[in-house]
Amino acid sequence: MSFSRLFQRRSYSAMCSLVQDRRPGGFCFDNCSRNKLLEEKGLVSYKAMKTGTTICGVIFDGGVVLAADKRATEGNIIAEKACNKIYYLSDNMFCCGAGTAADTFMTSRLISSQIELHRLNSGRLPRVSFQYY
């Protein structure tokens, strides 16, 4: 089975369980009063910047759902309409990338190869918090 087909199946099943386990919620405006107070004291808040990439991660009881758009832009021009931004690292890890597509692709390949070497040397998958120095 291809990676994309496997990823779609895992994503679909994860989304189905997310919909079934949906908790009541909505928008939370708890920080509005705090932000107003900070502005009155003269602290400047960060300005939102448009980067052109949409990446989202949602944590739920059964795991994590990752989503990303597929457009690669160069300024106002859409250079690629089918650019993958979710990369396979190992059976238990994926990552999302924003920025230069070639850099994120090669960086994820490098990390994936290091994780595979670790798995072969140790006989087990690294934990998600595993770091290389």
> 48: number of CA atoms within 13 Å, CB side?
2
Neighbours of 115 (CB within 10 A): 19
Strand, helix or coil for residue 131 = coil
Is 73 an active-site residue?
Answer: no
Given 51, 53, 104, 107, the catalytic residue: 53
Question: Can you say whether the dihedral through the CA atoms of 6, 11, 16, 21 is positive or negative?
Answer: positive
β-pair partners for 74: 77
The residues that are catalytic are 53
